[in-house]
A and B are shown apart, each in its own frame.
Chain A
Amino acid sequence: MNNKFKRLIPQFFTLLLVVLIFGFFTFNAQVNMDNRGIDFGFGFLKQEASFDIQFSLVDYDGLDPYWWAYVAALLNTLLVAVLGIILCTIIGVIVGVARLSSNYLIRNTAAWYVEFFRNIPLLLQIFFWYYAALRALPLPQDAEPLLGVSYLTIKGFYIPAMIWENLNIFLYSVILAIIGIVIVRTYARKLQENEGKQLPVFYISLSLIIILPFLTFLVGGVSLDFEIPVIKQLSITSFTYVGGIGLPPELIALTLALSLYTATFIAECVRAGIQGVGKGQKEAAASIGLNPNQILKLVVMPQALRIIIPPTTNQYLNLTKNSSLAAAIAYPDLVLVFAGTALMQTGKAIEIVSITMLTYLSLSLAIAALMNWYNKKIEIKEK
């Protein structure tokens, strides 16, 4: 009884403290809002937003309600996050492997890359790319075509747009190919476990993913056209490109800065992961007659991945959260559009900041849950 009581008292006081703090804040907020004549509520989400978003993935204009502006802004944030994650993984893996190279120059170049980009604040890097580096690009009328079809200009990066016919048939075929690959892989694993035979899974998968979609072009009525950006004169001095897809310079600067910065951390994770696999493992694998390719695929990578994935997940989370720096260079992401413009217009500080924070929180938790699930799947199942 005495012991139980001893455990209850501190818990009671902690709870009381938290309740008191929250109560104090709520009370103040209530008083302040009464004084200023603001009422609490989320009704404003249905009102007309009447501001414009420069760049959005969905159809949006000023007549749409606030919640639709929220969706458009959230999609912009996700776009940067996804592009950044893809790019930083590619750079990070290359640099991480390069840091372990036997070549002195490559090793040190990679090390300097990491030391350099890691120690400069991300915001300064974003500013550097946006205000200094991308401003040095040519005007639309002076731009040289890259690979003949895309233009890198001060107003953005213009790339050809794809115009599909019967896109759904094509997508079905891709899904079919993926299902086929999964079946082949399961069969191959079973075959290896039961009879010790190995199938060339990689080549079968590759041919499946190429041949099936390709067939739809021949027989499924799918066709693909490219719409190449063409220069158009708006006035005597002002030019722009029409047709194709125009990526705004804000998006380019943000993606570049985010991925170059995050790649340094991923490179370190990758290096630690590969170094973390004991030398004995490789030697043991070699001594049972596996070739270098098999050693990498069957022995080193599965173990290294287990070390690499948890910290890398953290970096992906950081990248997603850091994408909110977009607000500093006016890329219309969630923070700029919603916690910026919408907040200024409605004055609903508490509601809007809470929605923004909760969105990032759930985004973070979702990525963390996804990666935890994957991590659990590949972890060692001890017998």
Chain B
Amino acid sequence: MISKNFITNLYLGLFLILVSLIDVSLNSFFKLNFTNFLPGSISFFLPLILGTIGLYLIRSDYTGLKQLDILNKNVNTSNFNAVLTLLIIFLIIKAIPPSMSWMILDANISGDSREACTGTGACWTYIKVWFRRFMYGMYPNELHWRINSAFILVIVLGMAGLLATEKLKKYLALYYVIIYPIIAFLIIYYLISGGAFGLEWVETGAWGGLSLTFIVSFFCLIFCFPLGMIFALGRRSSLPTVRYISIGYIEFWRGVPLITVLFMSSVMFPMFLPEDFFMDKLVRVIIAITLFEAAYCAEVIRGGLQALPRGQYDAAKSLGMGYWKMHIFVILPQALKLVIPGIANTFLALVKDTPLIFVVGLAEIAGMLAMAKTNPEWLGFAMEGYIFASIIFWIICYAMSKYSYNLEAKYKTER
């Protein structure tokens, strides 16, 4: 099977690949260049040329050597592939030392003042010192337990639905759509902003950081979902007035950028309210984002409604069900199951959009970063701040997208 010729090629090829990898690694880790004697550009491209020749020599359709076959099949099917493979490997080797030394080796994390950052690398002390601000905004330090406990309560109440017995299950939708949002609102309102039950009043201007992201996206989600459902049904209604109003609503909000909606909420909205009626900026922003996201939600739910076969409608009607009965007991439960991934995506987009409230002056995490960045004591650490925030958001969004895949698999019903 394996000719003697190929064995020679194999050893020669592996040797060449090894040489090229060693060359790049030495260059990258120890700043050595043992091909110095060659002219500049040849010395630069030498590892690539050697590696390509090496990969060419070890390429074969079938050799019987398991590892070699896997290697050939996955990264070495043609010359073009071989070059790309080498380029990616070299890039990784080249990128490791500078990023490692910046992020870990030369970085500082000890201490709690600017003076602690002496190295040439990242200054994680900055993140450590500002951590509470990034999480809770300008909320008073000694009251942070209120935010934490409010979140824990809301999450526990949200989980309560999972414990419902068979008998209570029929009220679950009612609980999540109406009762839960109200309770959650009251908890967050009284616990975080205080003003009653002996709790000190904290105005919404002091709210901020990541906790504000959670508050805004949580409320927008629970409010935009029922609203979206209404407009989705409206868009599929047979009544022309209802349909056109729904279409107009959905297309309008989908056609404008969120940032203009936020501007509208902060400068135009107060004009539309009665004279002596004052509405908090945060509430206005939540209303604006809810109206905006409801349009996207409606389109996702409409997709689910359209995917249901006609037979479901006909069957429900033939049982003598009216419009509302048919939708609540037959259509919506099935349609909502279909749109779980879509809803999860909408929610993901919502979470990613919340930093935008920074433009109307609410100090959410992006706003706190901007504030920390311009603090005269901590100038020049923008990079660390943005990397920190990006990592947090990345973890949240990645986890959510993976969770939505799981949900999709869990609720998949065979038809």
Contact = CB atoms under 8 A, between A and B. Distances in A.
Given A14-B245, A131-B386, A119 B77 contact: no
A102 B397 contact: no
A15 interface: yes
A361 B248 CA distance: 12
Nearest to A321: B257
Given A28-B274, A35-B275, A361-B256, A124 B358 contact: no
Contacts of B387: 128, 132
A128 B263 CA distance: 23
A35 B387 CA distance: 48
Contacts of A339: 260, 263
Interface string A342-379: 01000001100100110011001100000000000000
A7 B243 CA distance: 13
Contact of B88 (A105, A124, A325): A105
Interface stretch (B127-135, B160-168, B234-242, B329-337): B234-242
B176 to A, nearest CB: 26
A120 interface: yes
A131 B385 CA distance: 10
Interface in A29-80: 29, 31-33, 35
Interface string B46-74: 00000000000000000000000000011
A10 B268 contact: no
Contacts of A328: 358-359
A357 B84 CA distance: 46
B383 A119 contact: no
A15 B401 contact: no
Contacts of A343: 263, 267
Contacts of B261: 357
Contacts of B267: 343, 349, 353
A106 B240 contact: no
Interface residues of B, number: 58
Interface residues of A, number: 55
B85 interface: yes
Interface string B79-94: 0010011001100000
Given A105-B89, A119-B398, A328-B359, A11 B241 contact: yes
A341 interface: no
B263 A106 contact: no
A357 B260 contact: yes
Given A106-B88, A121-B366, A324-B257, 13 more contacts: A33-B271, A103-B75, A103-B77, A120-B393, A120-B397, A124-B386, A124-B389, A128-B390, A132-B387, A321-B258, A339-B263, A349-B268, A360-B257
Interface of B: 73-75, 77, 81, 84-85, 88-89, 238-242, 245, 251-252, 254-261, 263-264, 267-268, 270-275, 351-356, 358-359, 366, 369-370, 373, 382-383, 386-387, 389-390, 393-394, 397-398, 401
The 9 closest A-B pairs by CB, nearest first: A119-B397, A321-B257, A104-B74, A361-B255, A132-B383, A11-B241, A364-B255, A324-B257, A25-B272
